[in-house]
Every structure is written in structure tokens, then in C-alpha cells.
Amino acid sequence: MIPTLFGAGFLGIETFNPPWDFIYLPIFNALVGLYQVPVVDMALAIIILTIVIRTVLAPLFVRQIRSSKEMQQVQPLVREVQRKHKGNARKVQEETQAIYREHGVSPFAGCLPSLLQLVILLPMYQALTRASSIVSYTAPKELATAFTDFLAATPGIESLGKDQYRIPFEGSCAIPPDFHQFLPLNCQLITPLKLSAPIDTTVAWLGGLNLAVVDHVFAITVLGFAISALAILAASLQFIQVRMTMARGGTDGDPTATANQTMVYMLPAMTIIWGAFLPSGLMLYWTTYTAYLIFQQYLVLGWGNLFPLFGWQPRWAPAPEAGLKPRPRAQVPDPSAGTQPTDSSTGNPRPGPSGSQNRKRRGRKR
């Protein structure tokens, strides 16, 4: 029923492959639709679409962000457990997990937004790749002859060398399934968004940055590895975002806290590495997405546990709240002092004779 309603022919979409296209095509059509708005180029289209996606998904993150705030508040309890059972990793883990369950918090709440961001990354990558009209394809041996025949029979596909091809924005949609990535752009656009010219992915106000390829405008090459300034900016923002929600305190005996501490550095490092291989448009999306997420987290958490940052505590960022205080340890009565009577109305100890007075009374009786 669903493929019948939303499959090929729906609002002018001539090619539809469920279930993947349910996720990819809305993003692709939205991106192209924003691009066709006057004074909006591809960079602004990515920024606007990212903010829209981030706003739509905001309710999904509210619980995680609030859980992160509660996570910060229970850290004094966790540190007390670590102090009390130092050297007994198993006991620390058991009591820490009990604290998390009691207060309904998750130590991974701060990383969930970053992980969901990775899930959205793939359809955004496909949308940017298709919008660029550049396809990388190496035909396997069993399809080599068929691919040669396909290129000869399909006008409009331009070879750019190094197994790269430029696909047309319009043309026949009768493309064999093995070469589906060579579909003309208009085949998967709704009727109001059909293109009359190729999409321009070069942005003048970004120094001529081509969003369809790896960043070569704001990048330096070190030992053959391209380090993109845009990727560094995205990684820095990601570090701030995770650090704001990261639990304060040590990780002794708590594997979940240790993993969380690792991810605050691992995810930004991965972003810098990916910046050398992924289109700069994706780095622009990642930067915008994370910056907006930081803004939303700030509305709920303030600066959270971002500061002190490497020993720096700015005056305009107040120190985090102390959180929940450890429960007072039970007082063990001294057996030599005897048991004091308590007041039945208040439950507090009733004043009574001291130990020396009792001894004097026993002496008088004798």
C-alpha cells in the first residue's frame, strides 16, 4: 500500500526504491527546493535545512539533555561510592549503576545527540552527492561490458577521469538497477522542483569552496593528509557539545563513565579524519548542526560541565551546581555508653544521666 501511494509517479517522482528512499528523498527534495529560493545558494540551503532538521528533532533530545543535567547532579553520590569502595571495581560498578537507576539517569545521554547526528549523516551525504551531479563508480569485472554498453547508450553522462562521472540533471529515467546512481536529478524530484539547469555547488562567499568535493580552500596538507579548517571547527564544536553534558568527577571503576570520557575526544578526532575524505558540504552541515545543538543545550543546561576547560574558568561562566550531596553515614552507638532513651514524640535522644552518674548510683546502692 505504501509503495503504491509514495512510489514512482508520486508528485512527479519517477524512480522510487523503498525503504531507503523514504529517508533520502525528503532530504534531497528539501535541499533542492531551498536552493531554488532566490538569493539562496547551496551553502545557505544546507544551513537552513540543517536548522529545520535540528528543530524538528528537538523534542527527541529534550529528555536526553534533561537526563544529562540530572547526571551532573548525581556525581557527588558517585564520587562518594568511588571513595568508599576504592580498589573494589566490581562494588563501585554495582553501586554506581544502582544510583543511576534510582535517579533515572543515563551516563550516555550526552553522546546520544552525536550518535543520532551520525545516523542523519548518511542520507545528507547521499543528498549532497546527488546534488553535485558527480558520481564515483568503478565497474566490477562481471559488469565491465554491461557498463561500457550502458555509457554508450545513455547520452549526457560525462567522464571526468579517475572513475568519476558527471550525471545530467534531466534525461531518461529508465536506468538499469545496477547503475541506479547515474539517474538524472529530475527523476527523483517532485514536479514543482524539476531543474532547468545543473546545481551550482561552488559558493563565492566561502572563497569559492566547492561543497561537492573535499575542502581544498580552507585546508592544509600535512604528510599527504588534508586537514580541513572546516572539519576542525566542526570537531571543536562537537567537543564543546559533549563536554557540556559530560558527567563531572572521576571514572574509577565505572566503565560507562570511562567510555563517555573517551568519546569526548574520540568523536572530534574522527570528525577531523573524515574531513579529509568527505565533501565539504557535509562538514558545513556538521558544523551548523552541532552549533545549533550547543545553543539548545545551553537553554537547558547553561554551560553545564564545560568549565573549567583545561584549568580555565571564565568569570562569565559560573561554576556548575554542586549537585546532590551524599547521604550522611549512620552513626554507630558506642556500646560502652549504653543505650540512650528516646523521646516518643520526636524520636530524638532524651537527656539522661551520664555514665559517671550511673556508676555513682551503683556505688551508693552497694
Instruction: Give yes or no for a contact between 313 and 306, defined as CB atoms under 8 angstroms apart.
Output: no
**pLDDT value at position 323?**
53
Which residues does 345 contact at the CB level (< 8 Å), separation at least 6? none
Mean pLDDT, the chain, rounded, equals 80
Q: Which CA distances in Å does 342 have to 165, 337, 347, 349?
A: 89, 15, 6, 4
Tell which residue, 328, 209, 352, has the closest CA to residue 218. 209
pLDDT at 41 over 80: yes
Q: Identify which of 186-190, 299-303, 313-317 has the greatest average pLDDT.
A: 186-190
| pLDDT above 70: residue 342 | no
pLDDT over 60 at 357, yes or no: no
Residue 45: what pLDDT? 96
Rounded average pLDDT over 313-329: 61
pTM: 0.74
Q: State the pLDDT at residue 341.
A: 52
pLDDT digits (tens, 9 = 90+) for 60-116: 777 667 776 777 678 788 888 888 888 888 888 888 888 888 877 776 665 666 666
The pLDDT, as a whole number, for residue 43 is 96
Span of 72-86, 184-198, 204-218, 252-266 with lowest mean pLDDT:
252-266
Q: How far is CA 44 from CA 175, 192, 252, in A?
A: 32, 20, 46
Q: What is the pLDDT of residue 88?
A: 86
Strands 134-136 and 164-166: what pairing?
antiparallel
In this predicted structure, the answer to whether residue 361 has a pLDDT above a threshold of 60 is no
Residue percentage of the chain with pLDDT more than 90: 33
pLDDT at 262 over 80: no
pLDDT higher than 90, residue 298: no
Please give the C-alpha separations between residue 81 and each of 106, 288, 322, in angstroms, as whole numbers.
Answer: 17, 39, 16
Segment of 53-57, 206-210, 251-255 carrying the highest mean pLDDT: 206-210
Over residues 215-237, the mean pLDDT reads 90
Better-scored residue on pLDDT, 226 or 237: 237
Percent of the chain with pLDDT over 70: 75
Average pLDDT over residues 306-313: 74
> How far is the C-alpha of 332 from the C-alpha of 224, rounded, in Å?
68
How many of the other CB atoms lie within 10 Å of CB of 67? 20
Whole-number pLDDT of residue 5 = 47
* For residues 140-160, average pLDDT: 92
pLDDT score at 79: 80
